[in-house]
Amino acid sequence: MKTLHSFALAALSVAILSACNKAPEQKTQSTMNNTQSVTEQTQASAPVAKKIPHEMTIHDDTRIDNYYWMRDDERKDPAVIAHLNAENAYTDQQLAHTKNLQSTLFEELKGRIQKDDDSVPTKSGDYFYSSQTRGDNEYPTYVRSTDAKGSDQTVILDVNKLAEGHDYYSATGLSVSPNGHLLAYGEDTVSRRIYTILVKDLSTGELLKDELEGTSGDVVWANDNKTFYYIKKDLQTLLGYQVYRHTLGSPQSEDVLVYEEANTSYYTGLGKSKDKQEIYIWHGSTSASGVSVLDANNVTAQPKRFIEREENLEYDIAKHGDWYYIVTNLNAVNFQLMKVHKDKAHNKANWQTVIPARDDVKLEGIELFTNHLVYKEREMGQSRLTVRNLTSGDEQALSFNDSSYMVHAYGNNELDNPSLRVYYASMTTPGSSYDIDLNSTAKTLLKQQTVVGDFNADNYASERLFITARDGVKVPVSLVYRKDKFNKDGTNPLLQYAYGSYGATMDPSFSSSRLSLLDRGVVFAIAHIRGSQMLGRPWYEDGKLLNKKNTFNDFVDVTKGLIKQQYGDEKQMFAMGGSAGGLLMGAVANQAPELYRGMVAAVPFVDVVTTMLDASLPLTTNEYGEWGNPNEKMYYDYMLSYSPYDQVRKQAYPNMLVTTGLHDSQVQYFEPAKWVAKLREYKTDNNKLLFKIDMEAGHGGASGRFKSLQDTALNYAFLLDLAGIEK
């Protein structure tokens, strides 16, 4: 998914050039008679970016982008690096008085994390797999054993050792061969989400010579234990579009191309049926999906479409013996469950309804077992799980204590499992893993996230309410606060978060980090705005393409509603969003800056029009179904009317902290860099505008479980300082 874009401010035409982190002397056109280094300048004032007009014309409309020069695909241009370093230095200087608060917050955040921690083992094949974290280690160690108790536990991958000597490290897609002898995984040391696949012999601990570059990191093994499939990426667009078959011991140059996606609006994924007999190539765009099938027992097999792809048709399949179960939007806006015999699967007329479509309930997914079907639905914003006996047809809905919560199935890798594994949390209940007996639905708590310290769930309260937006639509909101710090008299600082794109639903869940805000009297709210699927598929459709402004309006109207109902102090309202939620921050800052004391925009997608017009940028063509294709004038005009970068104007803006990673693969660093520069040029206030760039990280920020907490501490310190909370 795409992420946030950027702010813009520039007041003077100052060229910032650099080599080896030093800036050569250069005079401005009129105001600076004395030269100074970038470092000296940032001690006195905010960095001011030079302006080089760049014309872009389409649909007889010309836009001038004075900061287009900040784009450097190689990330080596001395002037660009110097400017980013100057921004970091300025941010450090402006927040120097919060260093003690940042340190206090970091120690709090870190102190709540159980240093020695084990995940709940999940069974796959003959082994139970889990992860461990120990002491101050930043990364997990992956282990397995032949029983759930871990009596003969062995290490299969220690990511801490692999990460040694790297500023950034990510291991992904761990996949063990069917016989359990080999482990394939992807490795990224840059944070561009381009992975090199490595293969480890689990009996000797040695790496094989096989090394596959330029991949998505995911691997699916064929059943011969020496062949696997992987996805290769376009190194310019970062789109995974080719599926290759690799035979161990052979060079990557001899790998066989099995499938190539010709439509650049589709993503490509890999999977395997639960009975391990079929390999799936998943095809997904913003508005359509499908699957091609390979025989896992035949390494020369060619993929066959389950059915031919159709515009606006979405479906997902799960194999159960000779039958396929299909979650689909066929004649069902909120999806329905159908099934079909394998011999008749390729004709939709043969699909039989199992769970019919309903206008007010969205079917979100299923898990199949030998004798049971578990399905997940969402009604009025709340998800629920139901267990159905496939023989008798009897059903039992699972119940939980909280009135508002998140729950999802995970780790259910085997058809013959006697129980369903789920993860459960609410805004006051730490994440919990349960096994649920498929016959009795009795729940067994396997583990609840430990919050080190004096945490007591009874000290906190969560609420769920609906706030009416300007067009009469009721928007769900989830709130949490500390009871003895909350007055509901309009005196509490309030932080409002939202995402609101791609149909991604942000369920109310627990965060130990968030306690640092709640314990200081801050109310935290999640606005479940249009663009998600909190209220079903129509909720998403009403927040995308030519309806995108509903997303921004909902956020603003929720803020006004929370103030009116006295959940927050009208002078202490704060907003936060990341990636596409960063676009939200930019649009809201343009629309209603007076509502917010401060904002945090993380990796923000803010230069919507320019990015969506450039097919060479990562992920652009995949996003047409979400934002529209601006090569069509209708979409161009609409995007331009809300694009945060294009809509920056002369007005007062809130205090803002903008963050990015130099190597971000989703939202390129130059979007927020340009945005901040333009904001500095136009804003009429004296509020803070700070830009923090992680020169080593990408879209997800710093790697490692503790290092990433420094980013959280910085964000919180920025907000708390504005709220006048010093400790």
Active site residue 224: no
The Cα 676–Cα 690 span in angstroms is 8
- CA angle (14 as vertex; 10, 20 as ends), nearest 5: 115
For residue 316, which phi and psi values (nearest 5 degrees)? Answer: -140, 140
Identified catalytic residue from 542, 557, 699, 711: 699
The Cα 123–Cα 494 span in angstroms is 43
Query: What is the DSSP secondary structure assignment for residue 351, as one 8-state letter?
Result: -
Task: Judge whether 16 and 38 are in contact, CB under 8 Å.
Answer: yes
User: Which run of H or E residues covers position 389?
Assistant: strand 382-389
Identified catalytic residue from 646, 664, 711, 721: 664
Active site residue 97: no
Identified catalytic residue from 579, 643, 665, 708: 579
Q: Which among 264, 269, 221, 223 has a CA at the least distance from the CA of 243?
A: 269
The Cα 551–Cα 591 span in angstroms is 12
For residue 161, which phi and psi values (nearest 5 degrees)? Answer: -70, -40
Sheet containing strand 372-379, edge to edge, reads 361-368, 372-379, 382-389, 395-397
DSSP helix/strand/coil, 580:
helix
The Cα 175–Cα 279 span in angstroms is 14
Active site residue 166: no
Q: Which among 471, 604, 452 has a CA at the least distance from the CA of 530?
A: 471
- The amino acid present at 239, given as its one-letter code, is L
Query: What is the DSSP secondary structure assignment for residue 541, as one 8-state letter?
Result: H
**Per residue, what are the HEC states of 68-121?**
HHHCCCCCCCHHHHHHHHHHHHHHHHHCHHHHHHHHHHHHHHHHCECCCEECCC
For residue 527, which phi and psi values (nearest 5 degrees)? Answer: -90, 115
Structure tokens at 557: 């109207």
Strand partners of residue 382? 379
Q: How many residues does the chain have?
A: 727
The Cα 75–Cα 80 span in angstroms is 8
DSSP string, 193-240: S-EEEEEEETTT-PEEEEEEEEEEEEEEE-TTSSEEEEEEEPTTT--E
Query: What is the DSSP secondary structure assignment for residue 355, as one 8-state letter?
Result: E
- CA angle (560 as vertex; 555, 565 as ends), nearest 5: 125
User: Phi-psi bin for 490: left (phi > 0), alpha (psi -120 to 50), beta?
Assistant: left
The Cα 45–Cα 32 span in angstroms is 13
Query: What is the DSSP secondary structure assignment for residue 706, as one 8-state letter?
Result: T
Which residue in the block uniquely carries the two structure tokens 């004032």? 45
Active site residues: 579, 664, 699
